[in-house]
Amino acid sequence: MVENEKIKERPNLSVLALVSFLASFMVARIFTTLSPNTVLISEGYHIHHYWYGLIILAIGGWLGISYENERINRVAAILFGAGGGIIGDEVGLLLTSEYWTGITFTFLTIFLAFASILILLFRFSRIILNEFSQFFRSQTSLYLGVFLTTISVAFILETNDIAVMIASIVLTMIGLTIILLYFIHRFRTRKK
């Protein structure tokens, strides 16, 4: 019940910023698709809309760190997300000097997946930590650690590909860490 009260007291600004990001990205993309010749040129300078995005993002960030007010925090989150979406629309242009490149949609997909995962992790961090805590107390963690370590070592020994070796070494270290955490927990519970 306490967790639900905290959710009511504090707005979920990250979701608001993410929705604002996505909406402004889509509006910018639709506008540019329907009006590709609408360009602001001043004294020989071609002003891209990512400059407006930077200004909006800065205003949202400034409001967010300057005031402790729920309404202003919501406005700041919307501005921050909208500015980010406008900048995100021109990622392809910024990286390749071509607006209509596929890298923009790749960026959008990766960004949305990453941001959504972070929002879920922060929103449910207590539940996730509790689940991991229970997992490391069970023998399942020992079995997973042994499995990861065994399989990873086999791949290290079987390949000359540096990427596979690095990934296998990382997985071996994770497996050994899981095994170590399991035995540390077992040792501590026996002491008590």
Per-domain residue ranges for the chain? 2-123, 131-191
Q: Cβ contacts of residue 122 below 8 Å, gap of 6+?
A: 14
CA 119/CA 124 separation, integer angstroms: 8
Share of the chain above pLDDT 90, in %: 36
Mean pLDDT along residues 13-41: 88
> What's residue 8's pLDDT?
45
Is residue 111 over pLDDT 60?
A: yes
Higher pLDDT, 175 or 136: 175
Nearest-Å Rg of the Cα atoms of the chain is 24
Is residue 21 over pLDDT 50?
A: yes
Q: Which amino acid is at 191?
A: K
Tens-digit pLDDT profile for residues 149-171: 998 888 887 778 888 888 889 99
Backbone dihedral region for residue 161 (phi beyond 0: left; psi -120 to 50: alpha; all else: beta): beta
> What's residue 68's pLDDT?
85
Q: What is the mean pLDDT of the chain?
A: 85
> What's residue 74's pLDDT?
92
Looking at the DSSP assignment, which residues form a beta bridge with residue 45? 42
Tens-digit pLDDT profile for residues 52-98: 999 999 999 999 999 888 889 999 999 999 999 999 999 988 889 88
> What's residue 2's pLDDT?
52
Long-range contacts of 135-139 (CB under 8 A, 24+ apart): 136/178, 136/181, 136/182, 136/185, 137/185, 139/182
pLDDT level of residue 182 (50, 70, 90 thresholds): confident
> What's residue 192's pLDDT?
67
